[in-house]
A and B are shown apart, each in its own frame.
Chain A
């Protein structure tokens, strides 16, 4: 049962991250900037067509995690997986920045058997069990997808923004993701497997597209150093998505290629 849920989630994620798909995975907190002692946020996570209205599928609760300002895991409370959205609460018991995220690492293989091309999907643990290592024309692809958002109680901190070196990630470049105001230039760096993701296309969409005839996507590109510069035109909630492909290093002595997608939601406050 648990395995089924996991597989479904992976499949949904793979579906959600296809650039041409209208389905978008997002995690949205009730507030991103908080004051007071021990504030709470309630969080919605969904895979939907319109931002940020749940209308398609809900991610499994076990695919969602929270990291606190000290870099340690924080419990999800009052969790519930509904038909179209998954919700949970997070108590911000220490000041600083929290990351609420879903990361999926998958391994894809293609090989030839009896003259036919076969495909396999699993993870790094189940690869050995599948016994594919010596198959003809074996090609391996590591697939990493990350969906995240940030919330801050009190002063923003940077611990949860340290890159892991796995897949596409957002790295600080002077702007904190919980310090965004309309009309101000913001810059981040995008990294792919720990290196700057140069010339990478980024799509930014403002929420409430349900009430617009045109989606109003902003198409941006990182520069040669992986830097993304953006000025959010209006206050509101934004969805950002990028994907990248490249060399993935070796896995059990087999060269792999790497595919990754990155999705984040940001709240931009009015001046």
Chain B
């Protein structure tokens, strides 16, 4: 069992390279006296809850003090942010306004494709200055070939979240 896995693993990794990865994050309209756009991070967690790959992180990089609030994305900061060199190439981006944001993350397919079969979790975390914090956790199965279509909705700081992976045939 183990030897054959070792033989096949590299082949799987090279053949299942690529595919289409999409993530939609909705920032809800909130009735707040003082409104700041939320900081948002999205990542994929392995079955042991460690980070498989970061997908995106939105923060105010133009403000000199902008990175000082990254710790408010508590779980992301703990699991990934604090050990990363900022900005993270291909991951860091500016904050976004209220609305639905569809992200094409197909450049992350190379990191997702070789992940071993298992139960993964898409996590989206949002934290707003002088506001709340929310995490949406969406479990999904990954076997390298079956398409993923997962969705859930936040209650306070996040609206609809939709995540799809279309592996390369």
Contacts and interface: CB of A to CB of B under 8 A. Distances in A.
6 contacts: A31-B71, A33-B71, A35-B68, A35-B71, A36-B67, A270-B133
A34 B75 contact: no
Interface residues of B, number: 15
B82 A35 contact: yes
Contacts of A156: 82
A271 interface: yes
A154 B65 CA distance: 14
A271 B82 contact: no
Given A34-B68, A36-B67, A36-B68, A270 B81 contact: no
A179 interface: yes
A35 B83 CA distance: 11
- Determine the interface band of chain A, counting residues with CB < 8 A from chain B: 10 to 19
B67 A37 contact: yes
Going nearest first, the 9 A-B pairs with the smallest beta carbon separation are A36-B68, A35-B71, A36-B67, A35-B70, A155-B82, A155-B83, A33-B71, A154-B82, A269-B74
Nearest to A179: B78
Contacts of A35: 67-71, 77, 81-82
A163 interface: no
B43 to A, nearest CB: 16
A39 interface: yes
Interface in A14-57: 31, 33-37, 39
Contacts of A39: 68
Interface in B60-118: 65-71, 74-75, 77-78, 81-83
A33 B77 contact: yes
B75 to A, nearest CB: 7
Contacts of B83: 155
Contacts of B67: 35-37
Nearest to B74: A269
Contacts of A269: 74
A36 B65 CA distance: 7
A218 B75 CA distance: 27
Contacts of B65: 36
Nearest to B133: A270
B129 to A, nearest CB: 13
**Which has the most chain B C-beta neighbours within 10 Å: A34, A35, A36, A269?**
A35
Contacts of B133: 270
Contacts of A31: 71
A179 to B, nearest CB: 7
Interface string A39-80: 100000000000000000000000000000000000000000
B8 to A, nearest CB: 35
Contacts of A271: 75
Interface in A179-224: 179, 181
Interface string A140-170: 0000000000000011100000000000000
B152 to A, nearest CB: 17
A266 to B, nearest CB: 15
B156 to A, nearest CB: 14
A270 B73 CA distance: 11
A36 B78 contact: no
Given A31-B71, A155-B83, 11 more contacts: A33-B71, A33-B74, A35-B68, A35-B70, A35-B77, A35-B82, A36-B70, A37-B68, A156-B82, A181-B78, A270-B133
Interface string A71-95: 0000000000000000000000000
Contact of A34 (B71, B74, B78): B71
A37 B83 CA distance: 14
Contacts of A181: 74, 78
B134 to A, nearest CB: 11
